[in-house]
């Protein structure tokens, strides 16, 4: 922990007093493992919140993605389309199944999967597609679903960064066959570590529940029809989850007000570009993310990050494109477009408890840095 009071982290969880009460309840009652009332309650309330028929809690977002792929029977002969710009877990889950992640370009303005390029990488082996609602921005689910339907593909939505975002009034995660969520400490809802799979399919839900619990029959204890994993969430994690759901709407509102403030202060700063949101979509502000067009600002995202660090403000560069990294390495020319997007992206502090003054300070440092650079360049 940084003890300096001027330091602003890029993200931190906000835990309520109720979280403490619920956790103490787990400890007092002895229900600390994956059985207990909070697990069922969290699953039921989460399903209801998202408008999904089933919600199955798991130990992480990666576990959620892995189980979603496994329950579809995806294996070694199969290919799964994933966006080139995402957190690596999206592709890792595919590799964990023995299948091959096939990288697809992302739209440079929306930062989400480009369906035209998905068309280009489609093959006889393609079985599924995993759109990612990156930085809380809804992907083009209608086009993606049309494409999947035409080609007999399953759709798994990676909602790790988009809990609470909607498209045409419906929560993300309910458009595909399954939605996968993460509750890591820096996500929109946190249980420390944890995740969830949502689905409307009774058959998929049963398969996920079984695979999550060693493959054990849900009717006959200690009987296994299939070999599974232990990806269960604990009652303690679920207790925190229930407390977080109770304040979720309030927290999401605070985050969106922070976004509005950032936009207000940065909107006329040369070279600062916000993401484009598709028609009918309401994003969620997971991390206030923007692009720095160096041709207009005179400064790169990485340089700006350095200046923010000098002022004790933590920020985050965008993910490295998967195609550049050894496990997913891919030379396809079209993927070069992700390089520009990735290297120009910057995420700024966003968390419940961040003050208006903090946001103003961050924005002033950015606009001063850009103004100074432009002045020195025009000399
Ligand atoms: C965080 C994240 C994950 C993985 O979740 P974990 O809970 O850390 O396993 C997967 N996909 C995306 C897009 C993420 O941001």
236 shares a domain with 185: yes
Q: For position 375, what pLDDT does the model report?
A: 86
Domain count of the chain? 2
Report CA-CA distances (Å) from 292 to 112, 270, 272, 298. 18, 9, 5, 9
Bridge partners (DSSP) listed for residue 182:
195
336 shares a domain with 231: no
Report CA-CA distances (Å) from 203 to 14, 44, 199, 200. 36, 18, 10, 9
| 272 CA from centroid of ligand 1 (Å) | 27
Catalytic residue among 127, 187, 207, 275: 187
Question: Does a structural domain hold residue 1?
Answer: no
166 shares a domain with 202: yes
Q: For position 2, what pLDDT does the model report?
A: 45
Residues with CB under 6 A from ligand 1: 60-62, 86-87, 89-90, 132, 158, 160-161, 182, 184, 195
201 shares a domain with 89: yes
261 shares a domain with 229: no
- Which sign, positive or negative, has the C-alpha torsion 291, 122, 208, 199? positive
- Which sign, positive or negative, has the C-alpha torsion 147, 149, 152, 157? positive
Q: For position 6, what pLDDT does the model report?
A: 86
332 shares a domain with 240: no
- Is residue 253 part of the annotated active site? The answer reads no
320 shares a domain with 241: no
Triad 238, 242, 246: Cα angle to 5°: 165
User: pLDDT tens for residues 178-187?
Assistant: 999 999 999 9
**CA–CA distance, 74 with 96 (Å, rounded to integer):** 10
Question: Does a structural domain hold residue 63?
Answer: yes
188 shares a domain with 323: no
273-292: b (≥16 Cβ within 10 Å) or e: bebeebeebebbbbbbbbbb
Domain with 102, as residue range(s), is 17-246
DSSP letter at 223? Answer: -
Closest-CA residue, ligand 1 atom 4, reads 61
142 shares a domain with 287: no
Question: DSSP string spanning 26-83?
Answer: HHHHT--SS-SHHHHHHHHHHHHHHT-SEEEEES-HHHHHHHHHHHTT--TT-EEEEE
| 156 CA from centroid of ligand 1 (Å) | 14
- Domain boundary (221, 246, 271) is at 246
Is 160 within 8 Å of 87 (Cβ atoms)?
A: yes
Q: For position 4, what pLDDT does the model report?
A: 58
- Domain boundary (246, 267, 289) is at 246
Crossing angle of helices 235-246 and 37-50, rounded to 10°? 40
Query: Which H or E run contains 95?
Result: helix 89-96
* Global pTM exceeds 0.85: yes
The token pair at 80 is 């799964």
- The pLDDT tens digits along the chain (379 residues) read 445 578 999 999 999 999 999 999 999 999 999 999 999 999 999 999 999 999 999 999 999 999 999 999 999 999 999 999 999 999 999 999 999 999 999 999 999 999 999 999 999 999 999 999 999 999 999 999 999 999 999 999 999 999 999 999 999 999 999 999 999 999 999 999 999 999 999 999 999 999 999 999 989 999 999 999 999 999 999 999 999 999 999 999 999 999 999 999 999 999 999 999 999 999 999 999 999 999 999 999 999 999 999 999 999 999 999 999 999 999 999 999 999 999 999 999 999 999 999 999 999 999 999 999 988 888 7
Which runs of E-coded beta strand occur in 97-205?
A: 100-104, 126-129, 154-158, 166-167, 170-171, 178-182, 195-199
């Amino acid at each position: 922990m940084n003890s300096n009071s001027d330091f602003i982290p890029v993200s931190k969880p906000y835990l309520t007093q109720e979280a403490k009460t619920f956790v103490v309840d787990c400890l007092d009652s002895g229900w600390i493992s994956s059985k207990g009332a909070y697990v069922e309650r969290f699953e039921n309330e989460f399903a209801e919140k998202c408008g999904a028929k089933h919600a199955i809690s798991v130990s992480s977002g990666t576990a959620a993605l892995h189980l979603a792929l496994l329950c579809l029977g995806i294996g070694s002969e199969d290919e799964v389309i994933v966006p080139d710009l995402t957190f690596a877990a999206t592709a890792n889950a595919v590799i964990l199944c023995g299948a091959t992640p096939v990288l697809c370009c992302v739209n440079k303005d929306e930062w989400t999967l480009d369906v035209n390029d998905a068309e280009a990488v489609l093959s006889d082996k393609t079985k599924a597609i995993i759109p990612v609602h990156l930085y809380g921005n809804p992907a083009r689910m209608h086009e993606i679903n049309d494409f999947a339907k035409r080609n007999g593909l399953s759709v798994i939505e990676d909602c790790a960064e988009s809990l609470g975002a909607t498209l045409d009034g419906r929560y993300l995660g309910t458009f595909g066959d399954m939605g996968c969520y993460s509750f890591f400490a820096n996500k929109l809802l946190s249980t420390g570590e944890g995740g969830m799979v949502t689905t409307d399919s009774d058959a998929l839900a049963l398969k996920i529940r079984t695979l999550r619990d060693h493959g054990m029959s849900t009717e006959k204890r200690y009987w296994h029809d299939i070999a599974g994993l232990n990806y269960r969430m604990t009652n303690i994690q679920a207790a925190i989850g229930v407390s977080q759901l109770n304040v979720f709407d309030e927290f999401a509102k605070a985050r969106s007000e922070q976004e509005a403030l950032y936009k207000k202060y940065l909107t006329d700063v040369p070279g600062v570009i916000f993401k484009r949101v598709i028609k009918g979509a309401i994003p969620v502000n997971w991390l206030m993310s923007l692009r720095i067009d160096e041709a207009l600002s005179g400064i790169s995202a990485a340089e700006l990050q350095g200046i923010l660090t000098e002022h004790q403000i933590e920020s985050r560069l965008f993910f490295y494109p998967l195609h550049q990294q050894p496990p997913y390495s891919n030379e396809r020319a079209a993927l070069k477009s992700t390089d520009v997007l990735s290297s120009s992206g910057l995420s700024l502090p966003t968390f419940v408890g961040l003050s208006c003054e903090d946001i103003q300070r961050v924005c002033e440092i950015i606009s001063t840095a850009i103004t100074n650079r432009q002045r020195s360049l025009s000399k």
